[in-house]
Amino acid sequence: MILPYLNPSLPTQQRIDDLVERMTLDEKIGQLNQIFATPESEERDKEMIRQGQVGSRILAFSAHAGNDETEADAYTPLWEFQRIAVEESRLGIPLIFGRDVIHGHLTVYPIPLAQAASWDIELVEAAAKATASEAVSDFVHWTFAPMLDIARDPRWGRVIEGSGEDPYLCSQMAKAQIRGFQGEDTSAPGSMVACAKHFVGYGAVEGGRDYNTIEVTENTLRNTYLPPFKAAVDAGVGTIMCAFNDWNGIPCSANGYLLNTILRNEWGFDGYVISDWDSIKGMVEHGSVEDAAVAGQHAIQAGVDMEMPGHCFATHLRQQVAEGTVSEATVDQAVRRILRIKFMAGLFEEPFVKVRKQQPKGLKSEHRQLARKLAAESMVLLKNNEDALPLANDDNCTICLIGPLIHARRELLGNWTLDGRPEDTVTIAEGLAQLRPDLKIAPADAAVDAQIRLARKSDQVILVVGEDHFRNGENANIADITLPAGQAQLIDAIHAIGKPIILVVCSGRPLVLTDIEPKVDAILWAWHPGSEGGNAIADILSGNVNPSGKLPITFPRATGQIPIYYNYKNTCRPVDDYYGEDSRYQDQVGKPMYRFGFGLSYTHFEYSNFTLDRSQMLTDECITASIQIKNTGKASGFEVVQCYLRDVVASTIRPVRELKGFQRIHLKSGESKTVQFSFSESDLAFYGADNQQRTEPGEFQLWIGPDSSATIGGKFYFKQSKDSNIATERQACLNPDPSFC
């Protein structure tokens, strides 16, 4: 007879109910316990699994896996661990194995911030799908991605893991990655459970210092930091990871308002919440609780279901249930959520996967092609003086390749690359040598003086600079976002000898280029581009691929401008100039170096014939904006057409403009297309002073263009009914009594 919880023909809820009824309290607490294993702890861990004291294992050996240079084989012995869980524990509940599979597994794709620069939703989804297919064959069921933290301070090292400064773009990337990781059926071969992190506000840490406190109002929380997580929940994400930081003085690991009131009650999230690494015990260091026992009690009552390596639940929950300080019903609720995801992932039907016995000799060709395409689409051309790029096909023009990163492999992969192998990485020198056999390449051991001599003998210089892969990532913050030591001096030296410079920058964050930009003829921002980075850079520089990347985050002129972002709120001293020139520093202009959404192409696009299909929009109606885009240059190319809105007068101050839509279109030379954006009442909505979502009547401005400084547009008015008066409607919304709205 098949036990009900093992019968796949029964409804999942019935299987969960049956299993929970059979579990002892110790087995329930075991499901809440995630461990990390080392060779020294292997036998102890196996015995804990036999006793039903483990629900999950994280495939990492420290809290700093992304920056751990000495990490051992995290996969040993997974098959045996799972066999013991299924065959030797009393109830045979499978383990769920989680790993930080952030931007690729064996095949490494560009860092997430770079992927956002592609603005290519379908390609980002395809990369996540390919990543999942590789990871599950290494027994990874669950990835701690995507990271959905809005980040407006590039000093913060973890800016590389997210999609930048904008809630709308981040939300679109979140949905794409979740669809890619989980697929339509998370139990299907090649699919894995996703985890949206870090809930919430982590990207706003003070001074860009990791783990720091944040100061975010609920208005900003709901309108800026929460939307990507809401998009993730709507996309069906299986799990959520809470953040290290506090919000309103309460650590996120025990913030019931965030985890229960908003996440579960308002949004209907039915997956499980996992803490960040030892973040529950971290409440003791926060000073919000006196010891680990109370920390665990607060966390589970607030809605945390599983503890990422730590011992608060495993050590103290049994006694707390016995004493009545934590109810067994609360434990049961957490267990049910965890079991639901294990059933959703198909682990009860297929606890084992066909694990690769040996690493393959090479990456799959289709994954390499995908990585190369995404890397090229992610790169942003920031400057191209007098068409310095693409490189000219001129036998009389000698070109040299110099710089500290031209032979780099590991550095191109970027941070949070746990399984990608440097030997699988195409260097920039290798990629360019294939397309330009006549290229003069500085040897790997060439001194700076030797590189300068090579530049002196050449007509044009390709100079590659940037960051080491460990200069960003978790707790890898920098106080001054300039190039690493010595690189600006190298640029100065090449500039001093009068050679044209094509500057390629590999980086995990925006950097200040104010003093450098005038000295170079072209700038290609290549990010950390992944396994196929060298080939993708060669594709762009040679002109085989026309650059189409657009910045997902603002580049400041100086570190002191931070935070700087396009969707700021207007002040009581407004000016016409975008980016609030009246609110500037004495020693610096107010505008950024490169604005959000900016990126050049090898061709030119002309915007014209803007129209709105109506001047007034009523409830239950839509308004459609149209514009014609024409490729007026000689090359075919992609353009990312961006649409921004502004609510001119509202009961709480709204941003000067907000991204509300974008389309990535391809145009041949001379070709034109009409692009349309349609918006309903919900697209105009925001959270007001009463923390309720609303759409208020009044004037809205709309712009369409190539970046956040778009100037072509118009205005329309939103009314709740045909015969209503806008002023009266707005006055109702401004009334102190929230019931008026």
Task: Identify the pLDDT of residue 740.
Answer: 34
On the question of pLDDT at 617 being above 90, the answer is yes
Q: Position 480: which residue type? A: D
Percent of the chain with pLDDT over 70: 95
For residue 472, name the pLDDT band (cuts at 50, 70, 90). very high
- The Cα-based distances of 436 to 66, 381, 382, 397, 458 in angstroms read 35, 20, 23, 12, 14
pLDDT in tens, 117-174: 999 999 999 999 999 999 999 999 999 999 999 999 999 999 999 999 999 999 999 9
Task: Identify the pLDDT of residue 580.
Answer: 52
Task: Identify the pLDDT of residue 207.
Answer: 97
- Rounded to whole angstroms, the Cα distance separating 616 from 720 reads 10
Task: Identify the pLDDT of residue 357.
Answer: 47
Q: Name which of 61-75, 394-408, 454-468 the model is least confident about.
A: 61-75
Q: Position 266: which residue type? A: E
- Rounded to whole angstroms, the Cα distance separating 390 from 657 reads 34
Task: Identify the pLDDT of residue 106.
Answer: 95
Rounded to an integer, the average pLDDT of 472-498 is 97
Q: What is the dihedral of CA 474, 479, 480, 482, to 10 degrees?
A: -20
On the question of pLDDT at 734 being above 70, the answer is no
β 56-58/34-36 pair status:
parallel
Task: Identify the pLDDT of residue 590.
Answer: 84
Rounded to an integer, the average pLDDT of 496-502 is 97
Q: Position 602: which residue type? A: Y
Rounded to an integer, the average pLDDT of 260-265 is 98
Task: Identify the pLDDT of residue 579.
Answer: 58
pLDDT in tens, 513-534: 999 999 999 999 999 999 999 9
For residue 739, name the pLDDT band (cuts at 50, 70, 90). very low
Rounded to an integer, the average pLDDT of 434-449 is 95
625 touches 663 (CB < 8 A): no
Structure tokens that stand for 136 in this block: 């599950």
Q: Mind listing the domains of the chain with CATH numbers? A: 24-99 (no CATH), 101-344 (3.20.20.300), 367-561 (3.40.50.1700), 605-740 (2.60.40.10)
Residue with tokens 């973890």: 158
pTM for the complete prediction? 0.96
Closest CA to 483 of 529, 515, 454, 450: 515
105 touches 134 (CB < 8 A): yes
204 touches 244 (CB < 8 A): no
HEC readout, 187-228? CCCCCCECEEEEECCHHHCHHHCCCCCCCCCHHHHHHHHCHH
Task: Identify the pLDDT of residue 712.
Answer: 98
On the question of pLDDT at 735 being above 90, the answer is no
DSSP, res 236: T
Task: Identify the pLDDT of residue 738.
Answer: 43
Task: Identify the pLDDT of residue 65.
Answer: 79
pLDDT in tens, 219-260: 999 999 999 999 999 999 999 999 999 999 999 999 999 999
Task: Identify the pLDDT of residue 583.
Answer: 59
Task: Identify the pLDDT of residue 737.
Answer: 47
Rounded to an integer, the average pLDDT of 427-453 is 96
Task: Identify the pLDDT of residue 62.
Answer: 75
Structure tokens that stand for 656 in this block: 């000067």
Structure tokens that stand for 229 in this block: 């997580």
pLDDT in tens, 198-211: 999 999 999 999 99
On the question of pLDDT at 385 being above 50, the answer is yes
DSSP, res 395: T
On the question of pLDDT at 588 being above 70, the answer is yes
Q: Looking at the annotation, which residues are catalytic?
A: 276
510 touches 555 (CB < 8 A): yes
The separation between CA 58 and the C-alpha centre of its own chain, rounded to angstroms, equals: 21
On the question of pLDDT at 741 being above 50, the answer is no
Residue with more model confidence, 65 or 430: 430
∠ CA 167-176-147, nearest 5°, is 55
Task: Identify the pLDDT of residue 578.
Answer: 55
On the question of pLDDT at 379 being above 70, the answer is yes
pLDDT in tens, 640-679: 999 999 999 999 999 999 999 999 999 999 999 999 999 9
On the question of pLDDT at 629 being above 50, the answer is yes
On the question of pLDDT at 335 being above 70, the answer is yes
For residue 581, name the pLDDT band (cuts at 50, 70, 90). low
β 460-466/399-402 pair status:
parallel
**108 DSSP β-pair partners:** 104
